Structure 1
């Protein structure tokens, strides 16, 4: 999660939204990304999506079944679905969708605990890892976007 926070901080310094993601396989980082929606002028360029694209490209596969996704924030519906299609079962996140919303970052209020019921027992989700550190990213973002 520390790497995801560092990547999110780097994106924040570039004027991006305060989100970062890392895909890990066998204890090693395969790919990382920060949100790049603004820079790429692409509303789908969430950190998780960009990290998945990079991991698939690096490993030359569309199956990331042996990986874990670490994200500074709870994945949105789009990102959670991308994890499903990529085969990423294990997801670890810091801050929640409700946390992001509280800082004025527009979110769809669809927490993973509700959405994952549609996926059966596919996902193994850990929430709240380094949450306070992830919230610091939102605080920094909020200071520049009031």
Structure 2
């Protein structure tokens, strides 16, 4: 469910450019990007999004983007999917490694 065209295009561009920073790049999509794709676009620093079909058009075909956005606006303890924090000091090492490797 995560292999949306926008995410795949971002992965391909990052691989080809050997960078996770796509500043100055544009992305083209057949539809207004879903919340997941929009987040990936922001994380990659894409400059512009160009799309044809709207979120409303997608809803007519059964896409649930509005429902997902509504869930994400809720506090984590009020969402349909339970989310719990697990404290582990070693988990910070993942951020440290990512900072040295990618950021």
Asked which structure has the greater CA Rg, the reply is 2
Gaps of 5+ in 2: 68-103
3-state DSSP class of the match of 1:79? helix
Partner of 2:11: 53
RMSD: 1.3
For 2:23 and 2:64, how far apart are their aligned partners in 1? 27
CA contact (8 A) 1:69 1:91 kept: yes
Count residues in correspondence.
Answer: 67
Deviation at 1:106, TM superposition (A): 1.9
Partner of 1:65: 23
For 1:57 and 1:105, how far apart are their aligned partners in 2? 32
Which residues of 2 match residues 6-25 of structure 1 at below 5 A?
A: none
Structure that is richer in strand per residue:
1
Under a length normalisation based on structure 1, what TM-score does the superposition of the two structures give? 0.44
Partner of 2:62: 105
Structure that is richer in helix per residue:
2
1:1-33 CA distance string (max 9 Å, x none): xxxxxxxxxxxxxxxxxxxxxxxxxxxxxxxxx
Deviation at 1:63, TM superposition (A): 0.4
For 1:108 and 1:84, how far apart are their aligned partners in 2? 17
Partner of 1:88: 46
**Poorly superposed stretches of 4+, deviation over 3 Å:** none
